[in-house]
Amino acid sequence: MDLGKKGSILKKGSSVNISKTHAGLKKLRLALMWEFKPGQDADLDASALMLGSDGKTLGEGTMAWHKNLVHCRQAVVHQGDIRSADDLDEGENMGKETIDIDLSLICEHVKEILAVITTYSEEEPVLFGRVKNAGVVLSKLKEGGATEALYNCDLSEDISNYTSMEVARFYRDEKGEWNFQPVGKGIGKSPLGFRDVLLKYNPYFKEEEEEG
């Protein structure tokens, strides 16, 4: 049983102005969590995209994911990859990936930080239906590495048939204040889940063409 505190419940789609509710809060940890179903495995990867005012990524270096753990002077740091249920210790079945964000270091032209989760397969698509109780917890990062959970959202509905999902976003509103919004919306169904994310958000992404 998970005895960790998770903060207040936020419904999918509802936003909270964290500049207002937690004035001065800059360092955050976003944890994406799920449970593996018995006998089923899935390689889930969390990533964070930095989007400009056109809602697209700003260039090669603006994604923090397992291939590029640190973005932009430590503004966004991906804590590493739990690749599969095999990585877990005996008796555990919870998967988790975390991304740390320092809002004070986010560049001016970044209007949104979008956290996504994708599956990876070289054969049949591995759908989110293989895991259950997917959720997100937003915590305050305190001195010394301690965390304090602020908000949590259950994302398990409506995502079973996808291989990529928009988890949550941090966006600047018209006043420049940061807002947090759990999303929980599926993006695509390709075996390489991240491909659909790139197609949607990265204007520089070109699919490799078949040889011959």
Partner 1 sequence: MAINLSKGDRINLSKDNPGLQKVRVGLSWDTKPGITADLDASVFLLGEDEKLIGDDGLIFYNNTTSAEGAVVHSGDNRTGAGDGDDETINIELSKVNPKVKSILVVLTSYAEQGSEKINFGRVKNATARLYDGASGKVLNEFDLSEDMSDATSMEMVKIYRNNNEWKLAAIGEKAGSSYNGLEDVLNRYSK
The residues of the shown chain that bind partner 1, judged by CB under 8 A, are 1-6, 142, 144-149
Burial letters 92-109, b for 16+ CB under 10 A, else e:
eeebebbbbbbbeebeee
Among residues 67 and 142, whose Cβ is nearest to partner 1? 142
Among residues 24 and 144, whose Cβ is nearest to partner 1? 144
Among residues 97 and 112, whose Cβ is nearest to partner 1? 97
In angstroms, give the least distance from the CB of 146 to partner 1.
4
CA–CA distance, 133 with 45 (Å, rounded to integer): 16
Among residues 25 and 72, whose Cβ is nearest to partner 1? 25
CA–CA distance, 209 with 126 (Å, rounded to integer): 24
- Residues 6 or more apart whose CB falls under 8 angstroms from that of 174 comprise none
In angstroms, give the least distance from the CB of 51 to partner 1.
31
In angstroms, give the least distance from the CB of 134 to partner 1.
16
> For residues 59 and 76, is the Cβ–Cβ distance under 8 A?
no
Cα radius of gyration (the chain): 17
